[in-house]
Structure 1
Amino acid sequence: MGIPISWGTTKSLLLFFGPMLLPKAIGYYRTLRAGPAAQGLRIRPVSPQVARTLYVLAITVLIYLVISFPFFAPENLFVRTQSRLQIPTDVLFTRLTSLRPGNILTDADQVLRAKFVNLESRLLYLQFGPDVLADCPFCNSDDPRSYFYYAFPALLAPHLLNLVVLSASTSDWLSGREGPRWRTTVVMASSLIAALDVYLVHSYNYQANSRATRLVDLDMHYWDMRAYRAIALALVNAAFAALLYLSATNRAFAAPPDPAERVEAATRALLLTKSKVNAVGIIKNTSIRDEDLRRRVEAYWTHEGRLMREVMEEREVIEGVNDALENRINIDAISRDAESYATNMLPRAQEDAQVAGQQVVG
């Protein structure tokens, strides 16, 4: 039995630990957000492989959430008949008969009726569910552990199935190079949840229900654990999908490329810059070597120089320039803009070359 914690105690703990933990959480979040930028990595779109993996995980999360609804759970005889645990067996199944089509009990109902020979069987029914109580060929209420042994494979089945889904989602052929880095994490999380599930079912004190005299006081352990199990698997898959999305788009948990990829990226950037410089040189050489083009260039710049001199010599232009220089224009800002423009004449090539140089040095 856990110790209840009042709202006043909770507020006191928050007021005491909040000022210490909140700045650390904010700092960790900012570091996490700035990590990719500090490593020279850009935010990128989701690749087709990662998108397929996210679709698969979204479908599994939706399936688990739907399965957790009570509508899809096995029937609970006590809830269906609104009966307390100590109700006589004949009365319980008489009520159930009136709810069945044609007032006829099914074969499973007949098996459960034969199993409900004592209170112990009903308590085990609430712990392991109707299928285990009805189908186990070697179980008996004198040995409660026998029901756990029979239920153990069915208990692990959803965890193993989800582990197969996560293993496929973290494989190279489905998620590319982003998925395998999370394989160890998701396997450990899935194993931990499976172990916790088995422990909770095995250590459950089913005898506590024997003191319940009303239906609302019963702990429907099997049905509650079934819902919690599905929700836990959905949360694991949703968390993995979020981690995969953040790492695949370099928003967080971004891993820098390995040295081979860095050298290859630097080589491509240098080749691209060299090709652009060569293209500019070819254009310049062509314009200079061709006599007609050379005359046109010289005529253009001669005309441009004469035209600008004539414009700048007009009285209105001189007065406007002087007035702008004195009152309106920030020369320092113009100088910075001119320097920025000159620096960014080939922005992408220059940026690629700088990133490549940093990666090579690193």
Structure 2
Amino acid sequence: MPSVGQAYAKIGDDPAAPDLGGAARYRIRCEVLPVMIGLSEVTRLEEATRALRELDYRSGGETCLDGVRLCLRESLPMLTAPTSEHVRRRLHVAVADLRNLAGWVCFDVGLVDNAQNHFCHALALAGLARADGLTANVCYRLGRVFLHHGHFDEALRYFDLGQLAASRSGDGLAAGMLSANAAWACAKKGAEHSARTLLDRGQEQFIAANRSGVAGWAEFFTPADLSGLAGAVHTDLAVTAGRHYARTAVVLLTTAIDGYDEGMARSRTFGEISLATSHLIEGDVEAGVDVGLRALASSGSVGSARVRDRFRPLASHARRFRDHGGARELAGRIDAVSAA
């Protein structure tokens, strides 16, 4: 019988495996898992999760959903296989993070019920491992599901729960991320003072945070991402509290877009959508149309229902300029993408 380490095989070596775009580097052969699980097996699972997460950020959840499902299905038997207590805790964290990723990917493709199910499993495993930093991250992602679908108070409750976990672990980066996202929820509600206060707090927490040895689930939260999030807060404040916020949004979003590398294509597209919206709110139709069309071009390589959802408000803003040919074209092209 082969060892568990030998039971990992590259997806490309299995002609019957689904096409995962080269993202899932390892496959776990469940039939050999009753042997002792060691750190090397857990490390390979962590590496597979990292590869899938990178693909998600680069190309969207639709490109890696099958890969995540396969990796999850073949990793679950590891939870009941013999191992040491030290390895078991790390295994719980690894599978919890894979569940966390599965929830995020399902959210990105529009499978909300599936996403919530995965996140609940992630919370349970993170709790077993006493991994408060991961618990905070899962709460952040659950909050984002509710935020995206317009349930702002529920989103705020999850962000608050995440803050409790971040406080227990002393994770300043998670605290900053949660504060900034709570600011976004408040901005969407039109709670101007709360949004500004929470955003200032989040930026201060980010600056003070220790960024050495950041866990894979939090690596995305960089200065560029914080700038993009702050820009999104100001874009929504421009809608709910006063159009003067659009000027600051333009500056923040431009900084964010310039700071994203090729591995963050989805985030860059989100930034371009918000930037185009801010330009239109300001009345700079030419700039809004130019950036909006650029966002549409960028979205062609990103398989994400969330991206398509985010375009719809931009189309509504563009339709306000019905006498502008470019704005009409932008709205029409967004409608075509949404209907596809």
Same fold (TM over 0.5): no
Q: TM-score range by the shorter chain?
A: under 0.3
Give the TM-score of the pair, scaled to structure 1. 0.21
Q: Which has the higher contact order (CA 8 A, sep 6+)?
A: 1
Higher-Rg member (1/2): 1
